[in-house]
């Protein structure tokens, strides 16, 4: 067991992070302790639990990170820093949006960062499961999937490995109330990662456009899922999923429209928000939650 303390650039509101993480019953969040336990994947069926606790304020954020083992601590700290986007100072982003029509939203939700899912493979699987479902049932179905085929350590759930997912049958997932197609999609992505046909580490080095092109070749992955992977799997800063219903409803509300905006209007509205479209997306979602 070892600990490290880290100070990062503000504003950064970790309590809002915990609020968002707590929506997913698979996440081990303790709001009173201002902490979350993060699964760190080491390989098939192996992992370490890393505890992240806030010890600062929104303006002067700081964190205590507790590791189970002393080996490769810097690599693990870098991984945690990447998940919580501690290297992406929000001050510049905040100042940018104060000059736009999103100013009221950014003032209300100041310091809300984009945080990543805890594992790239889990990000894609979760996105596929969540497709075309209301949020409550999406979390329920994901919970069934992970608690049935994943594993738990120190109260923290780990998603099943690609190898495990690849060997599942459609019938097994149908028993959890997966649709036929959703079951096929999840198993298919596991098979592609297991075989090496889809290398998520190598893919992460590509451009946004190249990643979207590669992922949308895969059955069950459309532009929405590919953009979700870019934003919440890799932390790319300039994504604006115009087909997302939440984005459309937030824009409709913000601009007092009596109908949903057209694609042309969405592009026009979002033009001043470059190069931080992902933050615009996040704050728009938050504005209607």
Structure tokens given for 76:
């693990």
Q: Which residues are catalytic?
A: 244
CA angle 96, 101, 102 (to 5 degrees): 65
Distances (CA, A) of 189 to 39, 71, 128: 21, 31, 10
**pLDDT tens-place string over residues 80-129:** 999 999 998 899 999 999 999 999 999 999 999 999 999 999 999 999 99
**Is residue 225 a contact partner of residue 214, using CB atoms and an 8 Å limit?**
no
Could you tell me the pLDDT band of residue 134, with boundaries at 50, 70 and 90?
Answer: confident
Of 44-48, 74-78, 182-186, where does mean pLDDT reach its minimum? 44-48
Sorted by where each begins, the domain ranges of the chain are 2-87, 120-232
Helix 135-149 vs helix 120-130: crossing angle, to nearest 10: 130
The CATH number assigned to the domain with range 120-232 reads: 1.10.340.30
What value does the CA radius of gyration of the chain take, rounded to a whole number of Å? 19
What share of the chain in percent tops pLDDT 70? 99
Q: Please, what CATH class does the domain formed by 2-87 belong to?
A: alpha beta
């Amino acid at each position: 067991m070892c600990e490290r303390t880290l100070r990062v650039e503000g504003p950064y509101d970790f309590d809002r992070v915990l609020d968002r993480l707590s929506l997913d019953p698979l996440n081990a969040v303790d709001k009173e302790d201002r902490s979350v336990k993060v699964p760190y994947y080491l390989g098939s069926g192996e992992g370490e639990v890393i505890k992240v606790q806030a010890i600062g304020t929104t303006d002067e954020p700081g964190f205590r990170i507790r590791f189970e083992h002393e080996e490769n601590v810097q690599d693990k700290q870098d991984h945690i820093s990447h998940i919580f986007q501690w290297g992406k100072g929000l001050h510049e982003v905040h100042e940018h949006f104060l000059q736009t029509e999103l100013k009221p939203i950014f003032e209300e939700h100041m310091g809300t960062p984009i945080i990543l899912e805890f594992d790239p493979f889990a990000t894609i699987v979760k996105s596929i499961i969540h497709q075309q479902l209301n949020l409550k049932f999406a979390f329920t179905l994901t919970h069934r999937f992970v608690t049935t085929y994943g594993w738990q350590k120190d109260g923290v759930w780990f998603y099943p490995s690609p190898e495990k997912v690849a060997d599942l049958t459609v019938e097994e997932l149908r028993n959890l109330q997966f649709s036929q197609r959703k079951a096929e999609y999840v198993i298919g992505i596991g098979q592609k990662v297991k075989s090496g046909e889809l290398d998520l580490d190598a893919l992460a080095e590509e451009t946004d456009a190249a990643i979207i092109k590669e992922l949308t070749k895969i059955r069950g992955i459309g532009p929405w899922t590919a953009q979700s992977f870019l934003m919440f799997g890799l932390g790319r800063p300039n994504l604006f999923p115009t087909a997302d219903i939440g984005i459309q409803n937030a824009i409709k509300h913000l601009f007092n429209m009596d109908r949903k905006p057209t694609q042309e209007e969405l592009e026009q509205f979002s033009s001043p928000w470059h190069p931080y479209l992902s933050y615009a997306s996040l704050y728009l979602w938050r504005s209607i939650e």
